[in-house]
Chains A and B, each alone.
Chain A
Amino acid sequence: DADVTQTPRNRITKTGKRIMLECSQTKGHDRMYWYRQDPGLGLRLIYYSFDVKDINKGEISDGYSVSRQAQAKFSLSLESAIPNQTALYFCATSDSPGNIQYFGAGTRLSVL
């Protein structure tokens, strides 16, 4: 089983719909991250969390919200999806600042 699991792997939704992307990890790491990947732009940080009570905005948090339900679970929500949120979304974890981040397989989201 993968250490960092994202569900769903693919999602097509319509403009205005609320959707949730889920991430769970078995690595026991405190730090979790959500990124989006767009062609030619690399990965950009949406939100990050150091522990269950610590949530922080990344560089592109507008239009997104997150929930850290447990050490192992970190969900990303799009409250009202719009087409420019069409992207590949990655969850990642790490055990300490500056250290390696481990990525999930990604969720490909299309907003029509």
Chain B
Amino acid sequence: AQSVSQHNHHVILSEAASLELGCNYSYGGTVNLFWYVQYPGQHLQLLLKYFSGDPLVKGIKGFEAEFIKSKFSFNLRKPSVQWSDTAEYFCAVNDGFSGGYNKLIFGAGTRLAVHP
């Protein structure tokens, strides 16, 4: 079965530090890749997505992610975090081409705390 691994469950950073959150998935075929963010007390929102094309995708609020097919990875990065980035981040994978229902598989999430 498909799986998504997020290596860091909790990350604590100071403002202006750089961020990289790891995400690896197990499916070997064509995939759609997503990062969702959940701010405290709020619903999940799309941060960025990769469907095809340039493997370096840019999302909202200065986030970007790089799809490396050979490593089955889709790591999230931000050069300089802010206190307002404190949230939980979820990587998700959808094998959008298998026909029928295309399941969106979520990682366990990474809880990021940014201190001023």
Contacts and interface: CB of A to CB of B under 8 A. Distances in A.
Interface in A31-85: 33, 35, 40-45, 48, 50, 56, 58
Contacts of B95: 98
Interface residues of A, number: 25
Interface in B31-71: 32, 34, 36, 42-46, 49, 51
B108 A41 contact: yes
Residue among B44, B90, B96, B106 with max Cβ neighbours from chain A (10 Å): B44
Interface in A1-26: 4
A97 B49 contact: no
Nearest to A50: B101
A101 B106 CA distance: 12
Interface residues of B, number: 25
Given A40-B108, A42-B108, A42-B109, A98 B9 contact: no
A97 B42 contact: no
Given A42-B108, A99-B96, A103-B44, 14 more contacts: A33-B104, A35-B106, A40-B108, A40-B109, A42-B4, A42-B90, A42-B106, A58-B103, A92-B44, A97-B102, A100-B34, A102-B46, A103-B36, A105-B42
Interface of A: 4, 33, 35, 40-45, 48, 50, 56, 58, 90, 92, 97-106
B101 A56 contact: yes
Interface in B71-116: 90, 94-97, 101-104, 106-109
A98 B43 contact: no
A4 B96 CA distance: 23
B102 A98 contact: yes
Given A98-B94, A98-B97, A43 B43 contact: no
Nearest to B4: A42
A92 B36 CA distance: 13
Nearest to B46: A100
Contacts of B36: 103
B43 A103 contact: yes
A43 B90 contact: yes
Contacts of B101: 48, 50, 56, 97
